[in-house]
Amino acid sequence: PDRLTFIRQLPKAELHVHIEGTLEPDLIFRLAQRNGVTLPYADVDALRAAYQFTNLQSFLDLYYAGAAVLLTEQDFYDMTMAYLTRIAQDGVVHTEIMFDPQTHTERGVPIADVFAGIARALREGKAKWGITSCLIMSFLRHLSEQAAFDTLDEALPLRADYADVWLGIGLDSGEQGNPPEKFERVYARCRELGFYLVAHAGEEGPADYVSGALDKLNVIRIDHGVRSEEDPALVARLAARRIPLTVCPLSNLKLKVVNDMREHNLKRLLDQGLCVTINSDDPAYFGGYLLDNYVAVAQALDLDDEDLVKLARNSMDARFPVFVSQS
């Protein structure tokens, strides 16, 4: 079979995707119309033309603007269903989805509607396609730790209703200047509550933030982590403990974490024995879903079938619960 068919038929898990980042321009416009929200773009093409980013923050500005069309339970359902419909074609058998409740509660959307709409789609997706899934509630790191505690307090009464889906806690948004230590207490609380902990680290931020996420937040998986390579001792530790990295190649290219896909360190990290996985991050903004990410790196880094099998298998191994070795 050709490359695309070979990769498509490998059982793959997506472990790093922001559901708000799956909102396609045409759905943004449809929801804006349905909800009477005015967008600062004339049409879908004008919006799509604005998707030219220079760094993480330039993307986040658009990402939060796009998310402003999400108001009702049905909106969150429609967005999640569109994503599941799309990945069902890519041979994705499992997905662990991040969502940012603070982006919505700050606009007056009840957190219960966010949970309800996303979870309804996930349960339906499992029945329809057999795609298993869970949710990672993520705190915005540009906001305070107190705001994260407040969000946790708002969400906890819903936990029993979503015990089958809400399994994880994450940390996202602008990394620089918002180190993991800022969230040490709220992560300790989430750990006591029995959530699986992950955090973005080493995307734009330094390798120190990856060490900090491990040591101060006790995460079991690192989102991105590509800058870990700058600290050889850290790389050795990630390899020894088999801490998974959820790497997002097209995201790294679009946000200029790498200038050319041929310079991406994914293959070097894989060859050093790290549990590297491939993910889409914000597929509606970065030009591709999971399969597109596999194809892009396979071509640019000249990956062979063995590498691709290893990457797909890593993604299945790195699902919750993650088994990491001690120390």
Q: Measured between alpha carbons, how far apart are the two ends of the chain, in Å? A: 43
Work out how close the CB of 277 gets to ligand ES4 at its nearest, in angstroms, rounded to a whole number. Answer: 15
Of 165, 133, 171, the C-alpha closest to 152 is: 171
Residue list 201-230, contact with ligand ES4 (CB under 6 A): 203
- Confirm or reject binding of residue 100 to Zn ion (CB under 5 A): no
- Between 113 and 281, CB nearer to Zn ion: 281
Work out how close the CB of 179 gets to Zn ion at its nearest, in angstroms, rounded to a whole number. Answer: 17
Helices (H), the chain: 3-9, 25-35, 44-49, 56-67, 73-88, 101-105, 111-129, 145-155, 184-192, 207-215, 232-241, 249-254, 266-271, 283-286, 290-300, 305-317
- Between 210 and 308, CB nearer to ligand ES4: 210
| SS3 state of residue 137 | strand
Distance (Å, whole) CA 236 – CA 81: 40
Residue list 124-183, contact with ligand ES4 (CB under 6 A): 172-173
Work out how close the CB of 321 gets to ligand ES4 at its nearest, in angstroms, rounded to a whole number. Answer: 24
Query: Tell me, what amino acid is at 240?
Result: A
Q: Say whether 281 counts as a known binding-site residue.
A: yes
Candidates 53, 281, 294, 307: give the one binding ligand ES4 (CB under 6 A): 281
Residue list 240-259, contact with ligand ES4 (CB under 6 A): 251
- Between 96 and 282, CB nearer to ligand ES4: 282
- Confirm or reject binding of residue 18 to ligand ES4 (CB under 6 A): yes
- Confirm or reject binding of residue 96 to ligand ES4 (CB under 6 A): no
Work out how close the CB of 171 gets to ligand ES4 at its nearest, in angstroms, rounded to a whole number. Answer: 9
Interface mask toward Zn ion for 269-308; x: CB under 5 A: ------------x---------------------------
What's the alpha-carbon Rg for the chain, to the nearest Å? 18
Alpha-carbon separation of residue 78 from 92, 107, 156, 251 (angstroms): 19, 19, 24, 24
- Complete DSSP assignment for 83-130: HHHHHHTTTEEEEEEEE-HHHHHTTT--HHHHHHHHHHHHHHHHHHH-
Q: Say whether 282 counts as a known binding-site residue.
A: yes
Work out how close the CB of 161 gets to ligand ES4 at its nearest, in angstroms, rounded to a whole number. Answer: 25
Task: Please identify every residue annotated as catalytic.
Answer: 203
HSE-CB at 193 with a 13 A cutoff on CA atoms is: 22
Q: Which residues are near Zn ion by CB under 5 A?
A: 281
Q: Which residues are near ligand ES4 by CB under 6 A?
A: 18, 21, 56, 63, 172-173, 200, 203, 251, 281-282
